[in-house]
Chains A and B, each alone.
Chain A
């Protein structure tokens, strides 16, 4: 953070004083990576649609698919958190509400990310259907 109103310029453009540039770069980088991953995801969805459980099980046991799907979902959830943060910052200005909603969105994204990785790892390893071993 800069102090005393000092502003830094690079090639005539003001340099962000705190974390703005980092967020901007993270949004663009995740967008760029998600272009091929989204195309792959659409392709995979077409391949899996109507195939039933057996085709899905076979699909997950191929490491390429499991790794790419985990990567796609983790980057997409990160991208989703950054996007929803912008929406909340745009419309929710009361600090307490803003913080609460951002925390809630972050928590939901983390839970979805953890659940995704958990399910994908089990499917990739060909583990037994889930209730087994968890006692419920």
Chain B
């Protein structure tokens, strides 16, 4: 932590004893940034962390998509091999995860565009938007896989 603010008039920021203010190098007291240890975990923090996690997962997923293109370009045998590997339990789990990541990155992206336009920025509405993006992403992902399995396109 930076230099504590020296004692001055009690009750004001010049005489802060709570550690909420620090003396800046220019000699002015300024509020200390919210610190991890005193920061209450928020819905929007989960929203942000999961969005970045989904983005990193999708970056790995990009390799799978290009591998699919390669398999198609290399002909029927390569395509069948690719389909068999991706149709295995682990392969299906990976693609379900990528579906969920894509759906969440999509809904979270829309949420961020709404915020960027200056809407829904109060604590209550931002939490609600975050939950809406969670639930709609899970709903879309399960709807897709429900249809894929129900219509027999994916055999478990």
Asked whether A80 and B148 contact (CB < 8 A) given A35-B109, A42-B102, A56-B72, the answer is: no
B10-18, B53-61, B120-128: which lies at the interface = B53-61
A14-22, A93-101, A118-126: which lies at the interface = A118-126
Q: Name the residue of chain B whose CB is nearest to the CB of A39.
A: B106
- The size bracket of the interface on A is 35 or more
Asked whether A129 and B74 contact (CB < 8 A) given A52-B80, A115-B66, the answer is: yes
Cβ contact within 8 Å between B154 and A50: yes
A-B contact count (CB 8 A): 92
Cβ contact within 8 Å between B75 and A130: yes
For B, the interface residue count at a CB cutoff of 8 angstroms equals: 37
- Kindly provide the distance from the CB of A71 to the nearest chain B CB, expressed in whole angstroms: 14
Is A32 interfacial (CB 8 A cutoff)?
Answer: yes
> From residue 77 to 136 of chain A, which have CB atoms closer than 8 A to chain B?
77, 80, 83-84, 87, 112, 115-116, 118-120, 122-123, 127, 129-131
Cβ contact within 8 Å between A83 and B55: yes
Interface of B is mostly: helix
> From residue 14 to 56 of chain A, which have CB atoms closer than 8 A to chain B?
28, 31-32, 34-35, 38-39, 41-42, 46, 49-53, 56
Interface string of B95-127 (1 = CB under 8 A from A): 000010011001001101100100000000000
Neighbouring B residues of A56 by C-beta, 8 Å: 72, 79
Point out the residue from A38, A52, A112 that lies within 8 Å of B63, measured CB to CB.
A112
**Could you list which residues of chain B lie within 8 angstroms of chain A, going by C-beta atoms?**
52, 55-56, 58-59, 62-63, 65-66, 69-70, 72-76, 78-80, 83, 99, 102-103, 106, 109-110, 112-113, 116, 140, 144, 147-148, 152-155
**Could you list which residues of chain A lie within 8 angstroms of chain B, going by C-beta atoms?**
28, 31-32, 34-35, 38-39, 41-42, 46, 49-53, 56-57, 60, 73, 76-77, 80, 83-84, 87, 112, 115-116, 118-120, 122-123, 127, 129-131
Name 27 interchain pairs, CB-CB below 8 A, sorted by A.
A28-B116, A31-B109, A31-B113, A35-B109, A38-B106, A50-B152, A51-B153, A52-B79, A73-B66, A76-B62, A80-B55, A80-B58, A80-B62, A87-B52, A87-B56, A116-B65, A118-B73, A119-B69, A119-B70, A119-B73, A122-B73, A123-B73, A129-B75, A129-B76, A129-B78, A130-B70, A130-B74
